[in-house]
A = this chain, B = another copy of it.
Amino acid sequence: MSKTVEEIAKATGFSITTVRFVINGQTDRYRISAKTRQAIEDYIAIHGYSINHAARSLKLARTETIGFVVPDLANAYFARLMAALEARCNERNLLLLTLASHESPELENRAITSLLERDVDGLAIAPCQSVVLPQLRSNKTRASIVAFDRGYPSWPFPAVVSDNYQGGLEMARRMLQESAGGECFFLCAHADSPSIQDRIRGFETACAESGVDDVASRIWTDANDSPDAGRHLMRILIDELRRPPAAFMCSSLLVLEGALLQLREQMGNIDPALLIGTFDDHAMLDLLPNRIVAVRQNEKAIAERLFERLLAPRDPVGLPGETDTVPCEIICRNF
């Protein structure tokens, strides 16, 4: 298997050019005789042909690859996004190169550098920092660059993000409406990220609509997105209230997880009357008896937009960079 064009040419006795025309299906255009074509096709059917992408890429200065940098694939949202993007890439015979940054600027930079060295044709990044790697800025880089999930204003590239403001707004509205006495807290991790900021603004707007006067006391933030952050936030919230909250929403599933664990640990159980809200949906939420409001991001639509931007020729750096905003879906359970 896996002959090169030259090997096939030698074996069949035809020239490299002829073999190439057959392989590339340009047999009509160059009037290759039917039996020549047949002979070469037969040989390939038996011995196979495997293109050498390194050589092709070197010649064409194009790799047919797309780079994809995500914070964490254990996050179901990013995993689904990757799946959707990979499907698109497959259709166009592009190879998707997925790397994880684990929310570490250093790993993110390594990933980007590595992908640029590999000369990807497009590069989609969910940044975990506001700083932009100089090589990305450079107009020498051929790749179309797109940010997603987090629209840092400092990033001079087009971005594709969920409508986090709308998500926060609608979730908070529903929570405030359902919650006895209109009590609702927001436990926020990774609070410096632009998408979380938008969610907070949505929450604040909903609170204002409902006439909540002390919005600031309703919002509890932590830098890291993790179950530990959720535990911590829930612990200090309970300490402050001297009782469990009647309703709370979380900025991510990880925070929710930690918050619920803390609640159960400290209170002995989770009150089925507790009203829960969370960003990102997860099938396992079905297993809780509580009323739950979940905001689900539309991964397929996001992947679609990303892909379009990735295929488009690279924008000249320096322009503001348009932002595509994709609506979220609100999912309610047990209401």
Contacts and interface: CB of A to CB of B under 8 A. Distances in A.
Contacts of A86: 99-100
A80 B90 contact: no
Interface stretch (A132-140, A187-195, A242-250): A132-140
A287 B269 CA distance: 10
A240 interface: no
A162 to B, nearest CB: 18
Count identical subunits in the complex.
2
Contact of A95 (B53, B90, B97, B289): B97
Given A83-B73, A99-B86, A135 B257 contact: no
A260 to B, nearest CB: 6
B261 A141 contact: no
B117 A50 contact: yes
Given A53-B119, A114-B95, A283-B257, A100 B83 contact: yes
Nearest to A1: B138
Nearest to A80: B74
Given A2-B140, A116-B50, A140-B2, A257 B270 contact: no
A58 B52 contact: yes
B135 A50 contact: yes
A10 interface: no
A118 interface: yes
A249 B96 CA distance: 36
Contacts of A269: 289
A322 interface: no
Contacts of A98: 98
Nearest to A257: B283
A119 B54 contact: yes
Contacts of A58: 52, 54-55, 58
Contact of A141 (B2, B97, B141, B270): B2
A202 interface: no
Interface in A300-326: none
A287 B286 contact: no
A270 B284 contact: no
Interface string A78-114: 0110110010001000011111101000010010001
Given A2-B135, A2-B138, A52-B58, 16 more contacts: A1-B140, A54-B55, A54-B119, A73-B79, A74-B76, A74-B80, A82-B100, A83-B102, A95-B97, A95-B99, A95-B114, A97-B97, A260-B286, A282-B284, A284-B287, A287-B287
17 contacts: A1-B138, A2-B116, A50-B116, A50-B117, A52-B58, A54-B119, A73-B73, A90-B107, A95-B97, A98-B98, A227-B283, A260-B287, A264-B287, A269-B289, A270-B287, A282-B284, A287-B288
8 smallest beta-carbon distances between A and B, as pairs:
A1-B138, A54-B57, A284-B284, A54-B58, A73-B79, A74-B79, A1-B135, A2-B140
